[in-house]
Amino acid sequence: MNLNNQEVVLDILNIAIDAGKEILKIYKKNFNVDLKADNSPITEADINSNNLIKKRLIEIEKNIPILTEESLVNWETRKVWKKYWLIDPLDGTKEFVNRNGEFTVNISLIENNLPIFGVIYAPEKSLLYYGIKNNGSYKLITQDNINTLYEFKKININNNTTSKY
The CATH number assigned to the domain holding 53 equals 3.30.540.10
Q: Is residue 55, in this structure, part of any structural domain at all? A: yes
Q: Strand (E) positions, the chain?
A: 33-35, 41-43, 66-68, 83-91, 104-111, 114-122, 127-132, 136-141, 153-155
Q: Is residue 105, in this structure, part of any structural domain at all? A: yes
pLDDT number for residue 119:
97
pLDDT number for residue 162:
45
Q: Is residue 163, in this structure, part of any structural domain at all? A: no
Q: Is residue 127, in this structure, part of any structural domain at all? A: yes
Mean pLDDT by 10 residues, the chain (165 residues): 81 96 94 86 93 96 91 88 96 92 96 95 94 89 72 67 44
Pair 138, 155: CB distance under 8 Å:
yes
pLDDT number for residue 5:
76
Q: Is residue 53, in this structure, part of any structural domain at all? A: yes
Could you tell me the strand order of the sheet in which 153-155 lies? 66-68, 83-91, 104-111, 114-122, 127-132, 136-141, 153-155
Beta partners for residue 111, in sequence order? 83, 114
Q: Is residue 160, in this structure, part of any structural domain at all? A: no
pLDDT number for residue 36:
85
Relative orientation angle of helices 6-27 and 44-60, to the nearest 10 degrees: 160
Q: How many domains does one find in the chain? A: 1
With CA atoms as reference, report the closest residue to 106 among 80, 131, 79, 82. 131
Pair 98, 89: CB distance under 8 Å:
no
pLDDT number for residue 160:
56
pLDDT number for residue 164:
44
Q: Is residue 162, in this structure, part of any structural domain at all? A: no
**Range of the structural domain that residue 95 is part of:** 6-155
